[in-house]
């Protein structure tokens, strides 16, 4: 088959190049429509009960994560000038296209009783801004006497005032949200300059846009940095500008295809999929290195350019297909999960890896047919003294120092197991932001004053129409809120019970001590002042469903790590069940905090599953190739040891297991197995050449593949190291951990794997290989090759 492929590539050069150009042009055109995702990545499947509950909540009560929160702390706030500036800020915010409404001190209202109309009437506290300090003090006293707003628009110590800007739902998840957030930042900057007071800004839309903007910036930054560093490394190793240029052409085309595939599949660029273009570069370059190194080595042997290219396609094409397939399968394992985000990542990454392989196999040999034959300086890198010295060191170690290799392996495995048991799991909305990031600092400031800005929602279904109006229900609801408010990790809660208390306070003349639930007699009086149709009241509509059977408690919690959030959620559910037992009520705890917690746990579980699936699939491929369970064990174990070492490092260094860092294992395993296949493919050939003498075959395989494996490992090491330029802590950890894992995987494949093969010489012999194995390095005899070369040249 590979003879036919070689003939096709070298004889149909113009047709194939034209096809590549046209296909890439189409992908480039599709890439023009690629979009950045303006949503938090949807981790949970749409059918997951927690996901369903959140969608049902939003359908019944509206969007909860649409608020941008602004906090200010100033000694001059309660002055005529301070309130005027605050009102000016509110006026500027409401003028922003997409801002639905503003809630703040200057827009707050009090409830009064209109005896003439026989109803409650909302009266603005500041219909006209006060012009004197005396009037300001009077309004402040009234405001302080309205417990309804305590913990909602000002903190318990009355040191920080809040303003809440709600964004229209149709503007939340498209490009308009970036404009809205940017205009909010401009307006707050103007307020800060005018008053000298710092504004603290947070809220889900604000956090989400900070994520989106960083993803948008970093996807191009990583492409540039990865191309730059791989170019430098290739030039350093290959000593050839044209070899470097050809390699870069391949990976640049692969990047174009990555964006085109994302758009063609109807996906958007998220934090996870933004890693695909740089992944394509660092995974694609090794293809070029193996092909070019083989071309140089072959040409040095016989000086025939076409013959060298034929052998490159036949001998390297097959094993490179296998290595790219195993890498692609490692990513394709994500497709078997139910997570939309992981499935999209798996589809694009796996397809893209195979595309880059095809581009490499077509472009590199064809381009070299048009170039002059390589000169001695082009393949002189194969004889660099320090590289040959490293190969010599590896061979000597495998022959004479195997006991030290095994001792080191035992230490690594033992340390890895010890460190692995110390790994903890975490996950939060801001876990990837640096501690000095303004967004992180603002969030923590507001959390310290209001106990959180991440929404948590509680829905209580009474299972009867207007059940929320029952006095017993309202009493239990109020008691539950008091219990929840006593938790240090929750903000002041809000429900229909608070609205009823507010109504009683108004009915009783506005005295703050009257802010409590009415007695049964008071209820009969108060009801007369309530409007017959309460659906026009926006506050009531957001706290009770249309049938009056479900009540909502809304509160905020801090952006806690996974273990702490799990404890908080368990505590909330326990208290909820105490006041509203499941025998009589149907209760649900949802909100962005709950969905993100469940999503993190789900993602980690599925990433572990995908790693196990990748190991299983690659083991099956090894079994098919070598026809031996023994060879599967010998080939897989050296690739698991670096993963174990990385897990140990995470435990010792306190790097948590979270969605970004757990990707290390799937990515590193899929790539490191490539070196194993290259080594074993050459080892298979050398076994036949050396009469099935394992020792000689191992040493020859190290000599033949060691240089290319070293080059590719260095490209991978420095390529993934570029992720340290990220503003996301998880991406930085991912880059460092993958780099280290692949670096040690190289030595595992060049030391541990050969040592295993030599130590089990009697256990692994000729019978350990399938005689029907795909011939990786076998080809024509010399006469057939000469005849084929003449036909191709003609």
CA–CA gap between residue 227 and residue 599 (Å, rounded): 33
Distance separating alpha carbons of residues 787 and 112, to the nearest angstrom: 102
How far is the C-alpha of 773 from the C-alpha of 405, rounded, in Å? Answer: 30
Tens-digit pLDDT profile for residues 722-735: 888 877 777 788 88
The confidence score (pLDDT) of residue 588 equals 93
- Is 482's pLDDT higher than 90? yes
What is d(CA 413, CA 411) in angstroms, rounded to the nearest whole number? Answer: 6
CA–centroid distance for 219 within its chain: 13
CA dihedral 734, 736, 742, 746 (to 10 degrees): -170
Distance, CA of 325 to CA of 302 (rounded, Å): 31
Residues 364 and 291: beta-carbon distance below 8 Å: yes
Q: Would you say the pTM of this structure is higher than 0.85?
A: no
Q: How confident is the model at residue 356 (pLDDT cuts 50, 70, 90)?
A: very high
pLDDT tens, residue by residue, 216-258: 787 888 888 888 888 888 887 777 788 888 889 998 999 999 9
Tell me if 256 sits within 8 A of 27, measured CB to CB: yes
Do the strands 67-72 and 161-167 form a parallel or antiparallel pair, or are they unpaired?
antiparallel
Whole-angstrom distance, CA of residue 226 vs CA of residue 255:
11
Fold designation for 384-421+645-768: Multidrug efflux transporter AcrB transmembrane fold (1.20.1640)
Q: Which of 692, 717, 791, 788 is nearest to 2 (CA)?
A: 788
Residue 308 pLDDT: 85
CB 542, CB 62: distance < 8 Å: yes
Q: If we measure between CA atoms, which residue out of 85, 105, 93, 62 comes closest to residue 201? A: 93
Angle between helices 276-302 and 340-370 (to 10 degrees): 30
| Domain ranges (residues) in the chain | 1-65+207-382+781-794, 67-205+435-595, 384-421+645-768
Mean pLDDT is highest, among 250-264, 284-298, 404-418, for: 250-264
More confident residue, 316 or 107: 107
Regarding predicted confidence, which is higher, 414 or 427? Answer: 414
Using DSSP bridges, classify how beta strands 109-114 and 99-103 pair: parallel, antiparallel or unpaired.
unpaired
Once rounded to an integer, what is the mean pLDDT over residues 357-365? 91
CA angle 324, 329, 335 (to 5 degrees): 140
Question: Would the pLDDT of 211 be above 60?
Answer: yes
Residue 338: φ, ψ to 5°: -95, 0
Q: Residue 789 above 60 pLDDT?
A: no
What is residue 779's predicted lDDT score, i.e. its pLDDT?
Answer: 42
Dig out the tokens for 451 from the structure: 């106990």
The answer on pLDDT for 564 being more than 50 is: yes
| Least confident piece of the model among 129-143, 148-162, 605-619 | 605-619
CA atoms within 13 A on the CB side of 719: 29
Residue-wise burial string across 528-558, b where 16 or more C-beta atoms lie within 10 A, e elsewhere: ebeeeeeeebeeeeebbeeebbbbbbbbbbb
CA dist 289 and 378 (Å) reads 13
Q: Has residue 340 got a pLDDT over 70? A: yes
Report the alpha-carbon distance of residue 451 to residue 559 in Å, rounded. 10
> Which of 551, 567, 425, 570 lies closest to 497, judged by CA?
551
Q: What is the mean pLDDT of the chain?
A: 82
The H-or-E segment that residue 124 falls in is strand 119-124
From CA 602, how far away is CA 300, in angstroms rounded?
A: 54
- Residue 771 above 50 pLDDT? no
Token pair recorded at residue 450: 């209001």
Question: Is the Cβ–Cβ distance between 251 and 227 less than 8 Å?
Answer: yes
Q: How far apart are CA 491 and CA 650, in angstroms?
A: 34
> Do the domains spanning 1-65+207-382+781-794 and 384-421+645-768 agree at the CATH topology level?
yes
**Higher pLDDT among residues 491 and 320, named by residue:** 491
Structure tokens at 244: 């470097």
Q: How confident is the model at residue 381, as a pLDDT? A: 57
pLDDT in tens, 365-413: 999 888 887 776 656 655 667 767 877 888 888 888 888 888 988 988 8
State how far the Cα of 707 lies from the Cα of 445, in Å rounded to an integer. Answer: 54
- Do 443 and 207 form a contact (C-beta atoms < 8 A)? yes
Which of 191-200, 431-440, 558-567 is the least confident region?
431-440
In the predicted structure, residue 755 carries a pLDDT above the cut 60: yes
Diameter of the chain measured on Cα atoms: 112
pLDDT above 60 (res 95)? yes
- Over residues 678-695, the pLDDT tens digits come to 787 777 777 777 766 777
Helix, strand, or coil (residue 793): helix
E strands, 389-486, are 454-461
Question: Could you tell me if 122 and 109 are in contact, meaning their C-beta atoms sit under 8 angstroms apart?
Answer: yes
pLDDT-based confidence at 480, cuts 50/70/90?
very high
Q: 653-688 as b/e, with b when 16 or more CB fall inside 10 Å?
A: eebbbbbbbbbbbbbbbbbbbbbbbbbbbbbbbbbe
Q: What percent of the chain has pLDDT over 90?
A: 21
**Is the pLDDT score of 458 beyond 90?**
yes
Residue 772: pLDDT band with limits 50, 70, 90 = very low
Fold for domain 1-65+207-382+781-794? Multidrug efflux transporter AcrB transmembrane fold (1.20.1640)
Dihedral pair phi/psi, residue 239, rounded to 5° = 55, 30
Token readout for 606 is 């599925």
Centre a 10 Å sphere on the Cβ of residue 232 and count the other Cβ atoms it contains: 12
Helix (H) or strand (E) holding 550: strand 550-557
Going by pLDDT thresholds of 50, 70 and 90, the confidence category of residue 532 is low
Q: Are 213 and 181 in contact (CB under 8 A)?
A: no
- Token pair of 197 as six digits: 């007071």
Report the C-alpha gap between 158 and 775 in whole angstroms: 78
In the prediction, which pLDDT does 762 show?
A: 53
A 10 A CB-CB count for 790 gives 11
More confident residue, 413 or 784: 413
Q: Residues 27-61: pLDDT tens digits?
A: 999 999 888 877 766 677 778 888 888 888 888 88
Can you give the pLDDT at residue 748?
86
pLDDT at 776: 43
pLDDT per residue as tens digits for the range 427-443: 677 776 777 888 888 88
- Tell me the C-alpha distance between 538 and 113, whole Å: 19
């Amino acid at each position: 088959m590979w003879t036919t492929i070689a003939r096709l590539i070298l004889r149909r050069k113009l047709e194939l190049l034209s096809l590549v150009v046209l296909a890439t042009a189409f992908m480039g055109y599709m890439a023009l429509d690629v979009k950045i995702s303006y949503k938090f990545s949807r981790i949970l499947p749409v059918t997951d009960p927690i996901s369903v509950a959140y969608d049902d909540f939003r359908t019944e009560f509206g969007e909860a994560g649409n608020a941008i929160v602004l906090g200010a702390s100033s000694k001059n706030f309660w002055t005529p000038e301070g309130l005027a500036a605050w009102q000016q800020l509110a006026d500027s915010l409401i003028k922003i296209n997409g801002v639905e409404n503003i809630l703040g001190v200057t827009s707050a209202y009090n409830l009064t009783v209109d005896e003439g109309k026989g109803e409650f009437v909302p009266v603005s506290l500041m219909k006209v801004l006060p012009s004197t300090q005396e009037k300001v003090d009077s309004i402040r006293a009234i405001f302080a006497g309205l417990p309804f707003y305590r913990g909602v628009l000002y903190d318990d110590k009355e040191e920080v005032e809040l303003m809440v800007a709600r964004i229209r739902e149709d503007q939340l998840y498209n490009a308009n949200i970036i404009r809205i957030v940017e205009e909010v930042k401009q307006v707050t900057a103007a307020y800060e300059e005018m008053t000298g007071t710092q504004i603290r800004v947070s809220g889900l839309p604000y956090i989400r846009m900070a994520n989106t903007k960083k993803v948008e910036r970093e996807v191009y930054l990583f492409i540039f940095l990865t191309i730059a560093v791989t170019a430098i490394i290739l030039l350093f190793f290959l000593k050839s500008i044209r070899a470097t240029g050809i390699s870069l052409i391949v990976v640049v085309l692969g990047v174009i295809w990555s964006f085109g595939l994302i758009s063609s599949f109807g996906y958007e660029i998220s934090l996870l999929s933004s890693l695909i273009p740089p992944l394509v570069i660092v995974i694609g370059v090794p293809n070029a290195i193996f092909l070019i190194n083989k071309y140089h080595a072959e040409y040095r042997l016989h000086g025939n350019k076409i013959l060298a290219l034929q052998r490159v396609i036949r001998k390297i094409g097959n094993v490179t297909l296998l290595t790219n397939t195993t890498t692609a399968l490692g990513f394709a394992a994500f497709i078997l999960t139910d997570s939309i985000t992981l499935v999209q990542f798996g589809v694009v990454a796996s397809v893209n890896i195979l595309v880059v392989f095809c581009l490499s196999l077509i472009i590199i040999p064809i381009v070299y047919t048009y170039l002059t034959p390589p000169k001695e300086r082009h393949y002189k890198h194969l004889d660099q003294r320090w590289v040959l010295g490293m190969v010599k060191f590896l061979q000597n170690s495998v022959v004479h120092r195997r006991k030290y290799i095994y001792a080191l392996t035992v230490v690594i495995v033992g340390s890895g197991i010890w460190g692995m048991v110390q790994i903890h799991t975490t996950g939060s909305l801001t876990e990837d932001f640096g501690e000095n990031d303004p967004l992180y600092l603002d969030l923590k400031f507001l959390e310290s004053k209001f106990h959180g800005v991440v929404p948590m929602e509680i829905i209580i279904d009474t299972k009867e129409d207007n059940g929320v109006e029952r006095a017993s229900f309202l009493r239990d609801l109020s008691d539950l809120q008091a219990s929840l408010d006593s938790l240090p990790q929750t903000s002041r809660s809000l429900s229909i019970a608070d609205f009823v208390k507010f109504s009683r306070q108004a009915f009783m003349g506005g005295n703050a001590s009257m802010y409590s639930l009415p007695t049964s007699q008071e209820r009969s009086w108060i009801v007369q002042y309530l409007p017959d149709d309460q659906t026009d009241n926006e506050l009531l509509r957001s706290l009770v469903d249309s049938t009056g059977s479900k009540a909502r408690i809304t509160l905020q919690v801090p952006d806690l790590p996974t273990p702490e959030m799990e404890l908080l959620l368990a505590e909330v559910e326990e208290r909820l069940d105490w006041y509203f037992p499941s025998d009589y009520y149907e209760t649900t705890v949802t909100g962005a905090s709950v969905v993100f917690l469940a999503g993190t746990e789900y993602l980690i579980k599925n990433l572990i599953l995908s790693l196990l699936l990748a190991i299983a699939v690659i083991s099956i491929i090894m079994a098919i190739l070598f026809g031996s369970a023994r060879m599967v064990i010998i080939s897989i174990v050296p690739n698991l040891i670096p993963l174990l070492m990385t897990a140990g490092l995470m435990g010792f260094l306190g790097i948590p297991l979270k969605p970004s860092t757990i990707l290390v294992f799937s990515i590193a395993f899929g790539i490191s197995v490539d070196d194993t296949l290259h080594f074993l493919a050459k080892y298979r050939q050398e076994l036949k050449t050396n009469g099935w003498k394992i020792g000689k075959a191992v040493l020859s395989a190290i000599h033949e593949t060691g240089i290319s494996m070293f080059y590719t490992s260095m490209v991978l090491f420095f390529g993934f190291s570029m992720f340290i330029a990220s503003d996301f802590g998880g991406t930085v950890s991912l880059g460092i951990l993958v780099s280290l894992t692949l670096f040690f995987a190289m030595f595992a494949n060049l030391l541990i794997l050969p040592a295993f093969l030599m130590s089990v010489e009697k256990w692994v012999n000729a019978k350990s290989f399938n005689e029907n194995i795909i011939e990786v390095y076998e080809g024509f005899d010399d006469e057939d090759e000469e005849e084929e070369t003449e036909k191709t040249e003609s």
